[in-house]
Chains A and B, each alone.
Chain A
């Protein structure tokens, strides 16, 4: 490893720059600003999952000042542009999921809105609904296209059939994962304001200003200048504010344009949970072939995701899942098939991890199952199979020197957690009887940072920096602060690149009229990819300032403050990247981040309540630009994963989410969280700024598989699903044991 570089700002555990506003209550979120002039908007939704929409009409009680818009009245194209353009803004003649909007209503105040909503008559003719994955796979309906298959990807490597034929041990398992609700503490919301030029301005709690910008341009047929999207301080997002705000913003925009008034649409919790996207449920059939030494010869994997009724982001979620499903292991032969299929359920969307958590769950469960079959310790089986520099993934990416850190994180976490001793102690404890059982589980995962393959090349993120008269440098990016720390980390990177104190950097609140499109705030790409473009822009700005102020200026950036200097940079890929999107072959990700975790749990066999006691997590992320923030990301992400593994269950009832409030969709409290012990490891990557790679999503991947492994260890029964609820555990415990 190279000697630690001499850096001042990158690597500093700086308190986040927005912390004081947040701890004193001064930060104003969307609903905190008084908006007495704004009308209120709402959607009229279908209660049925599948129906013919016969009519939507006003009844006599509809207040005259309120506005009703149906698909027929829309002043624009009836579509929300995402990966495809199949999602209508309003159902026109067929309803394909419960809660699908069939009309929009706006009114000047809450009372009138309530009256108006009550005075809309929706006539529906119920049709048979396809609500489960098996029916969808059989092509019933079809809900979407000819066969319900919204997207399909395959990866083939070598000769898996021959490898299976020669295997000493073949292990087979089917693993399923459930929905996950983001439950960001601040519900979704936007305010749309008509502009004098006929355009519209959006202010909202969101992740991707330019996604909304694009969706509004496409549907409303407006040129880019007449659509402005601004981000308000965002109270958590986790992917939930990646795609859905495009829908909400477009609803508010058409209402605002129609009423000629600002229209506010801020969800209450129940509507948010009932109507916004969730993590896709998944089912993975997994076969693995091993030789006599417990080395993987081949995998044969069939991964299926429930897309819900429309495309949204499902193909992209799927492709990432397919690329991660063989895990951080050396697999010479592979047959992998991934499909995402449509059902008459609300469309699923982005959620931190984006396809990887379910893939990692299946892969890691399968490794644990294999370890039991092979009589090996789970850590040892992983040690024998993990990828190292020079190894090639099933999709053809060869890890260059310095890229692989699977062995590093695994050995570190085993050591740091005292894995072997903790396992022995757990065994001894369990032999003592009593209602409690302890278990220890290990997991190894990875995450590809940035967009898949040539994705970054295709979107070409753009960053600008501006030198202001006061000598401060303003960062102009569309990457948002949503809690993850972008508004601190990007200034740290800029400060380092410019050789300025962080106090001389300003982070501009994302606003499409003022900042270029640095891409969406997704895919763990902000630090690694946007940070890298930012460094290029900063270096240019420093050069310009030096050119202006002369070489002798002690502080050229201060001296050139009045010169009106700006610099922009656009993403440039490295020439040695090889990716073929049509075959999904090659360098899928430029920076791989690695994580290994050891979970310790306590299970009460009377009730099968699972208590995570401790989670030791070692992550390798290239460079920890801000170690305190990094640790926070690891802990928070891991808890989301742990909770998805046992606590968070979203049930469907008649095609609707049954757990549609905070008292029924259970996220962890401080008493449900374990003590965390996090170690940050750094193998600098040439692809990211100062060596940094992606981090935001990585820690979520380990949570559920580590928990499942620990539960399995505690109870000596197998776990195939996330969440593994007490109800499931109790039933299985009965079956297996006594």
Chain B
């Protein structure tokens, strides 16, 4: 495939296999070896670069996705003679040890400071959470970013790429056909032909493609379809485009105000480089029982809008899943949006994830919860938990116990609902946790939510 992109301010034309990872394109075709491979699965951030102003892990990004885009790598940031303030601060603060993680950490720091002036310590830690460093303990790194933030910033001069898009031109040797439609209709028509795999942010697919676990003949990439991006208000609901990157959702004021449990859940997905690319559509269709953005959709009683050449239908988020990694979506359908009714004023929402660590973590258990108090009575109680069964589930027995319960009776209700929740989930032991822990914690989180309603 012929692609062109701006790399460190230089326009580059290349002919590469469409699914070659951007990491390999940079390292092998462009001789830019600053980005490193530490894991090949999006976990470590050693391969991080800035794509259109946002941090991404180049090991997850298929080359075709970089077509028409603006890429900045460590080589394009500064030199010892004319360093970026981040580089100078890393040197001055002793934030460097073996150096293998450093290009990625420097790019992550740069992306943060481009986005935000004078970030707090917790914000710095959050922004670097997808860049694993085994040497430093992070303290010097955090201090370096604080120092860099106080220095005059130097814009790297990149403007994010904007349309109109040209399509990358296929080559005869390509082992996969890539469609990059710009309208929903075009996308549906392509999908109707069959044998096409949809791509959202490729944060799940990227790993599977690289490891050869899936090898589709054709891809349909949604990144240029405007209709499946962004957040709109439709009546009493927020309609969230299924291909909206998490990074945009996190910044959306309507989502933050009206759907705080979804906002909170999205903030816990991976780390910034994953949030730059990952989408709700992918989270839903990937069908992992541990998907973090899904429990809020069930708790908020959202509907999944499926669109195909044949028409459109909406399914409740709860009914969307039919089993382990199985959904009602037909092969010719796209998830175009999720339609989330804005809960009545006064509805309490919460999202809590018990993960393997504090970022870049898969949930051992997560819980999204909503409830409203009306005249001292619990109303519209919805609890949805993940990683406790083959799919994300509504905790129906616990919900029934709570619905209509009196606030005065909250302590007892909390205990009863927690016990019911522990009973109704069906978790397993796996590499990350145990059945027992998951059961127990589901109950604890339910109880915690219920007792918190009293305040």
Contacts and interface: CB of A to CB of B under 8 A. Distances in A.
A588 to B, nearest CB: 29
Interface string A607-640: 1010100000000000000001101100111111
B425 interface: no
Interface string B79-106: 1100100010011111011111111001
For the side of the interface on B, what is the size category?
A: 35 or more
B90 A236 contact: no
Nearest to A187: B38
A663 B43 contact: yes
Contact of A727 (B96, B124, B434): B434
A273 to B, nearest CB: 10
A471 interface: no
B113 interface: no
B139 interface: yes
Contact of A669 (B40, B106, B271): B271
B291 interface: no
Interface stretch (A324-332, A482-490, A495-503): A482-490
A507 B134 CA distance: 24
B87 A632 contact: no
A575 interface: no
Interface stretch (A13-21, A87-95, A124-132, A284-292): A13-21
A18 to B, nearest CB: 7
A346 to B, nearest CB: 17
Given A235-B98, A651-B431, A734-B440, A606 B134 contact: no
B132 interface: yes
A146 interface: no
Contacts of B167: none
Contact of B33 (A28, A485, A726): A28
A451 B364 CA distance: 43
Interface in B406-443: 431-434, 436-437, 440-441
A639 B96 contact: no
A234 interface: yes
Interface string B58-81: 000000000000000111011110
Interface of B, secondary structure class, is loop
B100 A638 contact: no
Contacts of A153: none
Contacts of A154: none
Contacts of A659: 431
Contact of B98 (A185, A664, A675, A676): A185
A730 interface: yes
A629 B140 CA distance: 10
Contact of A611 (B132, B135, B358, B447): B358
Contacts of A726: 354, 364, 433, 437
A727 B437 CA distance: 6
Nearest to B90: A23
A184 B98 contact: yes
B98 A673 contact: no
A671 interface: yes
B281 interface: no
Contacts of B40: 268-269
A195 interface: no
A673 to B, nearest CB: 4
A731 B434 CA distance: 11
Interface centre among A268, A605, A629, A635, by most chain B C-beta atoms within 10 angstroms, is A635
B235 interface: no
Interface in A31-51: 31-32, 34
A666 B135 contact: no
B448 interface: yes
A379 to B, nearest CB: 24
A183 B132 CA distance: 10
A29 B125 contact: no
A666 B336 CA distance: 35
Contact of B44 (A19, A185, A675, A731): A185
10 smallest A-B Cβ distances: which pairs? A25-B34, A483-B98, A235-B100, A22-B99, A635-B137, A25-B74, A483-B97, A628-B94, A639-B137, A607-B354
Given A651-B431, A670-B133, 12 more contacts: A20-B91, A25-B35, A27-B99, A31-B37, A186-B100, A606-B445, A606-B447, A635-B137, A635-B140, A662-B38, A670-B126, A730-B441
22 contacts: A23-B102, A25-B33, A25-B34, A25-B35, A185-B100, A233-B99, A235-B101, A236-B98, A268-B37, A484-B97, A632-B136, A637-B137, A661-B43, A663-B41, A664-B431, A666-B356, A670-B131, A670-B141, A672-B357, A673-B138, A673-B139, A731-B436
